[in-house]
Structure 1
Amino acid sequence: MRFALALLCGAAGCASPVGDDAAPEASARQERPLVAEGALRPPHAVDSLLSLVDQTAAVVEGEVTDLRSEYSPRTGPWTVVTLGNVRAHLGDVPGELRLKQVGGLLPDGRQLVVSHVPRFVRGARYVVFLRNTGWSLSPVLDGQAFRVESVGGREVLVGAEGGLVSGLGSAGVRQTAPVFETVDLSGARPALRAGVEVAGLPDALGREAFVSLLQNHLRARGLGVTGVFREEPVATASARSVSVAPASGQVPVPGFTSSQPERDIPPGQP
Structure 2
Amino acid sequence: MGLTGCSAASGDDSPARQESPLAAEASLRPPRAVDSLLSLFDQTASVVEGEVTDVRSEYSPRTGPWTVVTLGNVRAHLGAAPRELRLKQAGGVLPDGRQLVVSHVPRFVRGARYVVFLRNTGWSLSPVLDEHAFRVESVAGREVLVGAEGGLVAGLGSAGVRQTAPVFETVDLMGARPALRAEAQARGTPEGMEREAFLSLLQNHLRARGLSVTGAFREEPVTTASSMSVPVTPAAGASVVPGAVPLQPERDIPPGQP
One fold, TM greater than 0.5? Answer: yes
**C-alpha deviation, 1:39, in angstroms:** 1.2
Give the CA deviation at 1:31. Answer: 2.3
Give, in whole Å, the separation in 2 of the partners of 1:127 and 1:266: 26
Structure 1 match to 2:7: 21
Q: Give yes or no for contact 1:100–1:231 (8 Å, CA) kept in 2.
A: yes
SS of the aligned residue for 1:66 comes to strand
With the length of structure 2 as denominator, give the TM-score of the two structures.
0.89
Matched-pair contact (CA < 8 Å) for 1:237–1:266:
no
2-side partners of 1:26 and 1:206: how far apart? Answer: 44
Q: Tell me which residue corresponds to 1:216.
A: 204
Q: For residues 162-201 of structure 1, give each alpha carbon's deviation from its aligned partner in whole angstroms, at most 9, with x where no partner exists.
A: 0000010111000001010000111111100113228721
Query: Which residue matches 1:61?
Result: 49
For residue 110 of structure 1, the aligned residue among 93, 98, 108 is: 98
The offset of 1:38, in angstroms, is 2.6
Structure-1 separation of matches of 2:233 and 2:67: 27
Distance across 1 between alignment mates of 2:232 and 2:65: 22
2:197 partner SS: helix
**23-32 vs 95-104, which deviates more?**
23-32
Aligned partner of residue 20 in structure 2, secondary structure? coil
Q: Where does structure 1 lack aligned partners over 5 or more consecutive residues?
A: 1-13
TM-score (norm: length of structure 1): 0.85
Confirm whether residue 151 of structure 1 aligns to residue 130 of structure 2: no
1:189 corresponds to which of 161, 174, 177: 177
Look up the match of 1:236. 224
Maintained 8 Å contact 2:104/2:250: no
**Does the C-alpha gap of structure 1 residues 209 and 25 become closer, same or farther in structure 2, counting only changes over 3 Å?**
farther
CA contact (8 A) 1:135 1:267 kept: yes
Q: Residue 18 of structure 1 contacts residue 104 of structure 1 at CA under 8 Å; is this kept in 2?
A: no
SS in 2 for 1:213: helix
Distance 2:47 2:253 in 1: 23
Once the 2 structures are TM-superposed, how far is the Cα of residue 74 of structure 1 from its aligned partner? 0.9
In the other structure, the counterpart of 1:85 is: 73
Deviations 1:55-83 (A, max 9, x none): 00000000000000111111110100000
Q: Quote the Cα distance in structure 1 between the aligned partners of 2:6 and 2:231.
A: 32
How many Å apart are 1:25 and its aligned residue?
6.9
- 1:252 and 1:147 mapped to 2: Cα distance? 23
Is residue 164 from structure 1 mapped to residue 139 from structure 2 by the alignment?
A: no
Change (3 A) 1:53 1:242: same
Cα distance 1:180–1:28, how it changes in 2: closer, same or farther (>3 A)?
farther
Please state how far the C-alpha of 1:253 moved relative to its aligned partner. Answer: 7.3
User: Structure 1 residue runs of 4+, over 6 Å off?
Assistant: 22-27, 244-247, 251-255
Q: 1:74 to 1:165 in 2, by over 3 A?
A: same
Q: Give distance in 1, aligned partners of 2:90 and 2:234.
A: 22
Show the counterpart of 1:4. none
Confirm or deny that 1:99 pairs with 2:87.
Answer: yes
Shift of 1:151: 1.6
- Sequence identity percentage: 78
Q: CA deviation at 1:245?
A: 8.0
